[in-house]
Structure 1
């Protein structure tokens, strides 16, 4: 039996019915011999290990993707229709792209122009921004100011400030934010007074709670229709995913 095992693939060995090879029924000598045969096979055919690792990784990726689909389905209303997140692009678009972002995140800044290009060139994507400040006090300061701007001055002013914050590379301070607001003709005093309000706090807290339910731990994270894209995704790749979603 062991001579035959040495001549077959490890996969075939492991696929044998339990009745044909019950380890509990083997003697200590037979177990030792089997281990030696398997070890010898792996040393002679190390590529089998890499093949097994690849199969495992593929299975884990498929399981994660399906788990993400389930998470999106279970939280769809909060993701796509929370009633307070900024909605742009084509509000009637056939594809919805949601981005969880942090204004201090380098990869969010890198993705900013590419997301804008995707939305502009496609023309049929509904785009939603979720404020998810996770990189410290400056991130929270920026998000509070942005949300307060939206509540005080509306969506267009919010988007203008949002774009400016994504392109801003200095320290985020209140004076810097006020100067930015003034550049767009906004009432910096009113926005500052709103920053620490319960209404602003509630929006950020709800987005954070949603991110936790979706197991989001980093930015940027995208929800593209029913799929979650964790991390930076180049324009070309995102474009292909959108095309795939349309079938």
Structure 2
């Protein structure tokens, strides 16, 4: 395959993925609208008309990774154990894309927080990707196309050490665990940020531990 053909194929694959993500977003939005309508109807039937139409103020998502890190306290089920400097470096990597990366990262972290909250209260039989696919009532989710629970065999054979990330010693006495599960924040360009995480919702912390928010670690396409 020529370089031109490979480039065209990559562009077509990316376009297909973008369309699939768009359709998933529309489906999630439609489900959210349905949930709002159902709850509003219940409130109206109970005589709580004022509450049914009360304005809901949703905070603006962060537009930088510095702000994102400062606001992690808003996500009680997220434990960030990573290197702040590597995360902050994303703000300086691409001034045009960084705000979009920060917003998408915030959406992903909110979804992970939602997963952990529901898993530790109501219970959920499945991992984070299944959570995003099934979309439980009241859940915040992201596109499953952006969630990978494992790495490829070739990546693990060659660059596993880059996925060995810090956790509290209560989780592992070594203070590190391998984190294969990750969220893809972008798939274009050499930076392609990732969020690597460890699911400790059934463990001592009852949280999702985020060990890395940074540029894509080494893989077969680096």
Q: TM-score range by the shorter chain?
A: under 0.3
Higher relative contact order (CA 8 A, sep 6+): 1
Name the structure where helix makes up a greater proportion of residues. 1
